[in-house]
Amino acid sequence: MISKEKKQNYISEMTTQFDKSEAVIVAHYQGLTVNQLDDLRAKMREHGIIFKITKNRITKIALEKTRCKELSNLFTGPTAVALSEDAITSAKILTNFSKENSNLKILGGIMGNDILDVAGVRNVASLPSLDEARAKIVGILRSPAQKIASILLAPASKIAILALEKSKK
């Protein structure tokens, strides 16, 4: 049994973590081995994500004082929570891990102020990460510049042909 002081510390720690996290994803982990849990935690830690097995009753108390209070109904059974600043990365890691290990069941979560169900978490997981989105934008911006440069570097006859074709339109 946990002492009252440890419970209070746990509640205040969890309240702080729920408040400062941009994304909170709740999952059941029953049936996962210790090695599988360690592997999942290691993947999460690489990206600065906290993956914590919770004490449901006192976690619900911690939730009451936060924007995540709607998630309290998900805290039944063997529950773990992923807390992160990057919702997309945590959703991707958990979704991919749950595909490989059917014992990890995503229950839902919250991103910003939006409550997510299982489908919502999977949708977030399908979004490009910040780095992927930046790469796509750079590619889109570079494309017109490359076309202009190739036209300018083309022989004068090609430019004349291009000008003639444009004037016909």
pLDDT digits (tens, 9 = 90+) for 99-133: 998 889 999 999 888 888 888 888 888 877 777 77
Whole-Å CA distances, 40 to 26, 35, 47: 14, 9, 11
10-27 average pLDDT score? 89
User: Could you tell me if 82 and 90 are in contact, meaning their C-beta atoms sit under 8 angstroms apart?
Assistant: yes
Domains of the chain: 4-127 (3.30.70.1730), 131-168 (no CATH)
pLDDT digits (tens, 9 = 90+) for 38-80: 999 999 999 899 999 988 888 888 888 888 888 888 888 899 9
Q: Is the pLDDT of residue 164 over 80?
A: no
127 Cβ contact partners less than 8 Å away, ≥ 6 residues apart: 88
In angstroms, rounded to a whole number, what is the distance separating the alpha carbons of residues 162 and 111?
A: 50
100-103 long-range contacts, CB within 8 A, separation 24+: 101/32, 101/36, 103/29, 103/30, 103/31, 103/32, 103/36
pLDDT score of 45? 92
Counting residues of the chain whose pLDDT is more than 90, the rounded percentage is: 23
> Hey, what are 9's tokens?
């510390």
User: Could you tell me if 119 and 75 are in contact, meaning their C-beta atoms sit under 8 angstroms apart?
Assistant: no
pLDDT digits (tens, 9 = 90+) for 136-149: 777 777 777 666 66
